[in-house]
Every structure is written in structure tokens, then in C-alpha cells.
Amino acid sequence: MKKVVLCRTAICFIAAVLLLFLPGCETSAKPTEVTTKTVMGAETFALCSETVKADVPETVTEPCSQTAAYTETAVTEAPTESETEAATEGMTEAVTEKETETAAETRTETEALTEAAVVRREAKDIVEELVVDYAEHGSSALKRIPGLIGELYETDANLGVRFEKIMDIWTSPDLGKPINYGVLPDGLPDTDELCIVVLGYTLEKDGSMKDELIGRLNVALRSAEKYPNAYILCSGGGTARNDKTVTEASQMAAWLKDHGVDPKRIIVEDTSNSTCQNAVFAYDVLLYRYYSVKKLAIVSSDYHIPAATLIFSAESVLRAPVPGDEKLQVVSNAAYEVPGGVFRRIYCASALLGLFGEPERAIEIE
């Protein structure tokens, strides 16, 4: 009997110990009470019950500490529906605002390009205003030239460079100066690098030469005798109303030959009918057939020297492969004096437009 009691007591003790070492998870267990009926005596049962109560502490009902920690870390509070809608609206407004700004910038750039395209003029219109304005208003137009040249640069930088140089030549107070009467001055090269350009003058109806043209030929003859190794180019087309078989250049060349000039030195250009054409066609002949020629000396009437110098110089500038690389250069002049002769700027404007490739407009202006 004693052994049975001890055995029961040991079992109760072991149960109590196991309860003590279980993890502290949530439980609703109450102090263990042994209610087993026993056939043993009341005294033994009471002893067992009191032993268990004394050895097993009351379990506290609390959540597991590790579980709580994991729960707080892993679980976040979900946003409410209203908060989600507000966030979505905010993002939409931000995107819309950015798209609006981008669209506005695009419109602004497009409008600027459109305005530039509308305002920008063609080069020929700018050149016409440039030369006609100076021809008509002279010194009072000088202040407008830089603006027009700048506009031309924006439209065509290559033309801008060339016409800036042409206008510098035209507006220079030294244009055509000094005028050398009767014969070319000293100091020019006496080689085939020099070409004396004799400009024609309208023939009589029957094809004979007028006194002014003969006067120019006398100046050319004296200059040719002074520079015996230079070429002499006679320039002028058919202007005889009643005889289309003769030209200014052919009559001039015949006269020079009759006065002892070597025919090998004489170059004939007989298709031009204006100073503009004199320059264009003379350059065609010289640049492609007389490669040694680099310098030109103009022979004409005194009032015509400034215009001829400008027109031949402008043609050289326009023909240059690149601005500044002119192949022919006007270096001097010799003039036949014509009392009362007048230099007209509008004539220069007309010629410059002709050189630029606007012959019809040139004729209208002249």
C-alpha cells in the first residue's frame, strides 16, 4: 500500500514538472485538480491533491511573446479606401500637370519656328532692298546696311559674307580713286598677269564708233604701249541699230590693230550689252582661257570708272570658290575725260542685281 501511494505521488510530480517546462503559449488551463476516484483512502487522495496544487503555479493567460513580436513586425495597417483614392488622384494630377507643361513647351517651340519661317525672307529680297536702299538714299541708308546684312547672314551665311564685302567696296569713299586720266599709272606688273579691260560704248546706227568710244581707245592704246606684255580685252556687243553684223568689241579690236597693237595680245568679248554683262562675260573668257591673268585695269570714261570698278570687283567676289579667294582683282584704272558725265548709284544697284541673277529686276530698276 505504501508503494502505491509513492507511485501516485511520483506521477503527479512528473506531470507538474512537465507543465512547468512547456512553452509559454496562450492557454486557458486552470490549476490541475485530481478528481480521479480512488479506492484508496481519503487521506491518501487528499495528500496527492495538496501536493499537485502546491507544486504547479497558476498559468497566466497571455499571448506568446515571440508570436506577438512577429505579428507587430510583419503586419502593417492596410490603407483605407479613401486614402487609396486620394493617393491615386494625386499621382494622376502630377502626371497630367507634367504632360500639360510638356505640351505647352512643344507648342511654344513650334510657334517660334513657325514665326521664324514666316518672318524670314528670301535672300534675293534682302539683296534687292540692300542695294536699292543705298542707291536711292545714299549716306542716310548706311545705318540700315548692318541690319540687312545680318538678316542675309541668317538666311544664307555664304551670301552674307560676300555682300558684306561688296557693300564695303561700294560705300567706300575711295571707290574708283584715284582716277587716272589718259593712261595707266606706274607700278603695275608688266607681264601677262595684267589685263587691260577696255569697256565699249554704244555704236552709231551704221555701226561706226562714237567719239567717246574712240577717246577710250586712245587711253587704252597709251596704256598698252606702257605695259607691252599685258593683255588687252575689248568688251562690248552689237549695239548698232541698222547693222547687226558689227559689235563694239570687233570695232575696238580692229582700231587697236590698225594702231600697231599685236593681235596676239587682243582678247575679244563681243556678246555683252551692259557693264554687268561686260563683267560676267569677260570673267568667263579670262578665268577659263587666260589662266595667267590675275589683275585687271579698267579703261572707260571718267564718270563710269567707279561703277565699273564696283561691278567687276563684285563679280570677282561672287565668283570666288570661297569668300576671300577671289581669282581676279581690279587694281587700277585709266579714264577718258567726259565733261558733265554723271555717276548714278541706281545704275550700280541694277548691275549688282544682274550679277546676283536677277536680270529682269535689274532692267526694271535701271
Give the CA distances from residue 280 to residues 68, 237, 333, in Å, rounded to whole numbers and listed in that order: 102, 13, 18
Q: How far apart are CA 283 and CA 290, in angstroms?
A: 10
Distance CA 200, CA 300 (A): 8
We find that the CATH architecture of domain 178-342 is 3-Layer(aba) Sandwich (3.40)
Whole-number pLDDT of residue 63: 44
The closest alpha carbon to 274, from 237, 314, 233, belongs to 237
Query: pTM to 2 decimals?
Result: 0.68
169, 175 contact by CB (below 8 A) = yes
For the stretch 102-115, pLDDT in tens is 666 666 666 655 55
Domain coordinates of the chain in residue numbers?
A: 123-169, 178-342
pLDDT of 49: 42
Distance CA 365, CA 353 (A): 9
Cα 112 to Cα 101, 121, 211, 226, 308: the distances in Å are 17, 16, 62, 63, 44
pLDDT at 104: 63
Copy the grid coordinates of residue 179: 582716277
> Is-contact 246 234, C-beta < 8 A?
no
- The Cα 311–Cα 304 span in angstroms is 11
For residue 194, the tally of other CB atoms under 10 A from its CB is 23
Q: What whole-number distance in Å separates Cα of residue 280 and Cα of residue 23? A: 114
* Under-50 pLDDT residues of the chain: 1-7, 23-76, 116, 366
Grid cell digits, residue 310: 564696283
Tell me whether the omega of the peptide bond preceding residue 323 falls within 30 degrees of 0, making it cis.
Answer: no
Q: What is the pLDDT of residue 150?
A: 97
| pLDDT for residue 87 | 56
**pLDDT, position 357:** 86
What local confidence, expressed as pLDDT, does residue 120 receive?
81
The answer to whether the beta carbons of residues 173 and 274 sit under 8 Å apart is no
